[in-house]
Amino acid sequence: MLCLSGLDPSGGAGIQADIETLAALGCHCAPIITALTVQDSRNVSELVSVDPALIGRQMDAILSDMSVVAVKIGLLGSTAVIEQIASELAKHPDIPVILDPVLKASGGTKLANQQVIEAIRKHLLPLTFLITPNASEALRLCPMPNTSNEECAAYIHSKGTPHLLITGGDSPGDSADVVTNQLFNAGKPTQFYNWPRLADNFHGSGCTLAAAISGFIAKGKPVANAVAEAQQYTHSTLEAAQPLGKGQLIPIRVSPT
Ligand code: PLP
């Protein structure tokens, strides 16, 4: 697995979430850092993009050397980074790309401006196999105002991404006790997954879920199975999460149960 993600020095989110999740699932992660951040278990205070040309050379080195079976993308610091990643990925159209659009930290800091969102729409959606926005990220990715999840899915499909999982952890929905995730699976009937809402807040839950989906896809699971098993794994990492800092709990991804 090739993972393009940000560095979170708390170790809760970003590339560490990818490496730990993939190791727990028996996959090898080749890590490329897209951005450095200053953050703690509460919120992100700084984001510094990595030089796009350097990211391009790292991708080229790994994709020429290793049999990469899937690519996972997380935090993207700038439009130039997005354009560079897209131009490298376009050379490898057979490798499935799983995109976790990190637009806002759960602590509240915006991690993507309007230009970044437009660059994701234009350059990455046509190359993406599966995207995993939460409900508010899905709304920001769609240019139309007040869209339903179904309208959002139709828009994302029209841009070239066949599979979309909208997670409901950030939206209370019909019941405050339940988190509902929705899979729009390339024209198949929409699947709903209900999970008991855990009482705490977590740092890196979205990264963990997207990395787990990528890992199961890398292992050859069909999308619906990968998505179901990844949610089960992520839920167990959240049930085992620990208050390692003063803010959100950190998921325990290696041997969570
Ligand atoms: N920092 C990095 C590097 C991330 O990749 C992410 C999420 O993917 C975050 C921060 C935000 O994590 P959270 O939403 O759990 O606050």
Tell me the average confidence (pLDDT) per consecutive run of 10 residues in the chain, 257 residues long: 98 98 98 98 97 98 98 97 98 98 94 97 98 95 92 96 95 81 93 95 97 98 98 98 98 85
**Domain architecture of the chain: domains with CATH:** 2-239 (3.40.1190.20)
pLDDT of residue 147: 87
pLDDT of residue 93: 97
Q: Please count the helices (runs of H) and the strands (runs of E) in the chain.
A: 8, 9
Alpha-carbon torsion (22, 134, 74, 9), positive or negative: negative
Query: pTM (2 decimals)?
Result: 0.96
Cα(115)–Cα(25) distance, rounded to whole angstroms? 35
pLDDT of residue 256: 63
Q: Which atom of ligand 1 is nearest to the CA of 102?
A: 8
> Considering only CA atoms, which residue is closest to atom 2 of ligand 1?
14
- 39's CB contacts (< 8 A; 6+ apart) are 8, 9, 10, 13, 45, 46, 105, 107
pLDDT of residue 174: 62
Q: Which atom of ligand 1 is nearest to the CA of 74?
A: 5
pLDDT of residue 5: 98
Strand ranges (E), the chain: 2-7, 30-39, 44-49, 71-73, 97-99, 130-131, 163-166, 178-185, 191-196
* 103 alpha carbon – ligand 1 mean position (Å): 9
Residue with tokens 């085992």: 240
* 37 alpha carbon – ligand 1 mean position (Å): 10
pLDDT of residue 186: 87
